[in-house]
Amino acid sequence: PKVHYVDHTGQDTEMDVPVGENVMHGAVYNGIEGIAGECGGALSCATCHCYVDDAWTAKVGGPSSEAEEELLENASSEVKPNSRLSCQIEMTDDLDGLVIHMPESQY
Ligand code: FES
């Protein structure tokens, strides 16, 4: 399934991210700037913060755990209702075409 990574300037990069892989890895492995993922997905850094596109929020849902919700508060960019930690969004066939927006900086 494809993920569209949209940076803060509006540039959209489409990547194939395998089912079962998370959206943070999809960015980091493909060299997409905008997602850092410093802790490697261990839910301890908040540098994988992203905003789920309005068209996808219902499908993706909110934070997957209390731990994600708490850590999100440490994100350096403004936290919005559609904020997620991208390492906690796992790809499924249902999410083909997912659009996420990346903050200008993760620090
Ligand atoms: Fe560190 Fe997601 S990569 S919390």
Q: Could you please report the per-residue DSSP string of 68-84?
A: HHHHHTT-SSPP-TTEE
What per-residue confidence (pLDDT) applies to 31? 97
Instruction: Provide the pLDDT for residue 13.
Output: 98
| Domain membership flag for residue 45 | yes
Q: pLDDT by residue (tens digit) across 65-78?
A: 999 999 999 999 99
Report yes or no on 15 lying in a domain.
yes
Q: Does residue 43 fall inside a structural domain?
A: yes
Per-residue model confidence (pLDDT) at position 96: 98
- CB of residue 32 inside a 6 A radius of ligand 1: no
- Residue 31 domain-assigned? yes
The CATH number given to whatever domain includes residue 84 is 3.10.20.30
How many structural domains is the chain composed of?
1
Q: Is residue 106 part of a domain?
A: no
Block residue for tokens 């559609």: 82
Closest C-alpha to ligand 1, atom 4: 43
CB 59, CB 94: distance < 8 Å? yes
3-state SS, residue 59: helix
28 close to ligand 1 (CB < 6 Angstrom) = no
Question: Above 0.90 for ipTM, yes or no?
Answer: yes
Whole-number pLDDT of residue 54: 97
Strand order, beta sheet including 49-52: 12-16, 2-6, 98-101, 49-52, 83-85
Structural domain range at position 45: 2-101
State in Å: Cα 41 to ligand 1 middle. 4
Residue ranges, the chain, pLDDT below 50: none
